[in-house]
Structure 1
Amino acid sequence: MRLLFITSNRLGDAVLSTSVLRHYVETYPGIKVTVACGPVAAPIFESVPGLERLIEMPKQKRGGHWWKLWKSVAFRWWDIIVDLRGSATAYVLPGWKRVVLKGNDDSVHRVEQLARLIGVDRPLNPKIWLDPIHVKRAQEILSSFAGRPLLVVGPTANWGGKMWPIDRFQDLVGRLTSLAGPLPDAYVLLVGAPSEIEKAQELISSIADDRRTVVFGTEHLLTVQACLEKADLYIGNDSGLMHMAAASGSPTVGLFGPSRPENYAPYGKKTAYVCTDRNYDQILADGVDWKSQKSLMTDLSVDKVFEFSCKFLK
């Protein structure tokens, strides 16, 4: 049995889509899987059980990436074709069963919508599969914290509007890791995309070298995932890394303002979120310049996040 799984360019959406992939992998043991997705998200699929092929789809002019995909998969019979990007590709490929996402339903969480799409009553949690190489590398990275609690922080995002001010992350980390905090003397792992490290520099510099490790695109995403599985707490903005943390099973708190937690809250066993005092609709009603990198999270206080985190960890 063969599955063609077409999923997102975006890391966060790709992580959420692994709930669907997990369903097929676990329902049909031994299924052969081909995944097609954007280059940023591709690494999280490298250890999928039964993976035959991983096809990266960088965007090309006039939809050239779809033509390239068709040429690479059109001469094989597919038992199941899942297209979560709503293209026409699934309908012009030889196959038996086709599942196509035709649009987002903002009334439910994305994971719940995807479960309905494939006819599952109870959604599976997203899952990122690991291999021994990346687990070993994560152990090497984290070896210096010697049994202390591990706090992982995702202080950046792909858009400045979704970023909680860095100085507030600095204050929060200090409180969480103080001797009176819920993670006393914790080691801090700071994670983000390679293009975002300058935005986090103030926070990075505020933590002593022997108390933190910085991974902004310098390690494979599966290595990052293996590190996330060791976290006592992940806290960060709405981002792909937040969804990776939720998929790891570690306690995860997402910070939300100009995005909908109803659709994109971290989804997993130990997940929660904190919102700005204004909700998404109120923020939009006040007017948003989508080209601006100015934070729209300034009415989320450190006190609110700290108190919520303490309760969450109890």
Structure 2
Amino acid sequence: MTKRILFISSTRVGDAILSTGLLNHLIGENPGARVTIACGPAAASLFEAVPNLERIIVLGKMAFSLHWPMLWALCAWRYWDMLVDLRNSPMYYVLAAGKRWRIGRSQEGVHRVRMLAGVIGLADAPPAPRLWTGAEHLELARRLVPDGPPVLAVGPTANWRAKTWPMARFMELINRLCASGGILPGARVAILGRDDERPMALGLIDAIPENRRIDLVGKLDLLDAYACLERCAFYVGNDSGLMHLAAASGIPTLGLFGPSPEKHYAPWGPLCDVAHTSIPYEEIFPAVFDHRNTGTLMESLSVDKTEEAARSLWRRAEGAKEAPQ
């Protein structure tokens, strides 16, 4: 009899990406199992190419938490061989399931990937995030990021302004990394971000020479962006879902951190690293903080420090290529 997995993932894109290693492990351990994903609207497209996908249930937040009764109504008529609840929802208790797991409370100093893997007892050997694409995503990526000089991918935006490194510093870093003595001399530059983030990124987009610019801001869904990132040589950007997308793609990924905890959300993978503000996370927030209106808190991260982190990561990536397999 065909097994069925109900995987209740996150509302936020970054957390949903970090959960995909756990999902991939379950799929690998249960060949042919039919998979139903429940997640927030922003993350839904991440799962469109999951193997043996039966359904994606999009959980938009509703008044009085009515999205949970809605999910129950859609799922209660079926027996689930495996139920994974990464939202600590009532579904853990009210749906009929064989094996069931749910996430616990956040643990101090434990990376989110390790915490998610711990749900099924794999915290000591956590499976890395993994996304799936279709032929249509790969074809679009080939058109948007055609063969040619290497591509430096940049994610200059974030979901709140306090996490955004100043655009002038991004431009200076791009100039250094793509200069004759940089890690990617003469590289093309791909700028990525959501459509609503375009005004924030426009100054940087316009500053890049047209013959080297690949403007992808607001033009891609998540799997298209992932496929484009796979064709790039290096990624640098603020702490965001896009950063986790780059890390999952396997390219060297440098995340820029300040007012977010890198110990929980640093990009995950052997070719990932962070550059962080000189002011530590625990001390960086002003007395009055509003994530909608407070400006950047990334001023204490210099271009020099970020460039050195990028060069160090690049040397590590080049060394990994030369290491015996």
What's the TM-score once normalised by structure 2's chain length? Answer: 0.93
Matched, 1:196 2:194: no
Shift of 1:288: 5.0
Amino acid at match of 1:117: V
Counterpart residue identity of residue 261, structure 2:
R
Task: Give distance in 1, aligned partners of 2:215 and 2:294.
Answer: 23
CA distance in 1, matches of 2:67, 2:58: 9
Structure 1: where are the runs of 5+ without partners?
none
Q: 1:248–1:94: structure 2 CA closer, same or farther, 3 Å change rule?
A: same
Question: 1:217 Cα deviation (Å)?
Answer: 2.6
| Residues paired across the two proteins, number | 311
In structure 1, the residue matched to 2:244 is 243
Q: Is the 8 A contact 2:68 2:90 kept in 1?
A: no
Change in CA separation of 1:130 and 1:163 when aligned onto 2, cut-off 3 Å: same
So what's the TM-score if we normalise by structure 1? 0.97
Of residues 133, 138, 141 in structure 2, which corresponds to 1:138? 141
Is contact 1:2-1:79 (8 Å) kept? yes
Aligned partner of 1:90: which letter? Y
| Alignment-derived partner of residue 8 in structure 1 | 10
Partner of 2:185: 184
Whether contact under 8 Å (1:18, 1:127) holds in the other structure is: yes
Code of the aligned partner of 2:179: S
Deviations 1:252-287 (A, max 9, x none): 000000011100000012111111001100213x53
- For 1:102 and 1:115, locate their aligned partners in 2 and report how far apart those are by CA, in whole Å: 11
Match of 1:217 in 2: 218
Which one is further off, 157-166 or 22-31?
22-31
The AA in structure 2 aligned to 1:86 is: N
Shift of 1:37: 0.3
Give the whole-Å Cα distance in 2 for the aligned partners of 1:15 and 1:161. Answer: 22
Conservation of the 8 A alpha-carbon contact between 1:234 and 1:250: yes
- Paired residue type of 2:55: R
Amino acid corresponding to residue 142 of structure 2 in structure 1? Q
Q: Contact (CA 8 Å) 2:177, 2:185: kept in 1 or not?
A: yes
Shift of residue 109, structure 1, vs aligned partner: 0.2
CA contact (8 A) 1:265 1:273 kept: yes
Aligned equivalents of 1:256, 1:98: Cα separation in 2:
35
In structure 2, the residue matched to 1:123 is 126
Task: Confirm or deny that 1:290 pairs with 2:293.
Answer: no
Gaps of 5+ in 2: 316-325
1:270-309 maps to which residues of 2 (within 5 A)?
270-284=271-285, 286-291=286-291, 292-309=293-310
Distance 1:277 1:289 in 2: 19
Letter in 1 for 2:138: V
Q: Distance in 2 between matches of 1:69 and 1:91?
A: 13
CA contact (8 A) 1:91 1:98 kept: no
Give the deviation of 1:25 after TM superposition.
0.9
Q: How big is the shift at 1:117?
A: 1.5
User: Does residue 149 of structure 1 match 2:172?
Assistant: no
Measured after TM superposition, the shift of residue 153 of structure 1 is 0.2
Report SS of the residue matched to 1:217.
Answer: coil
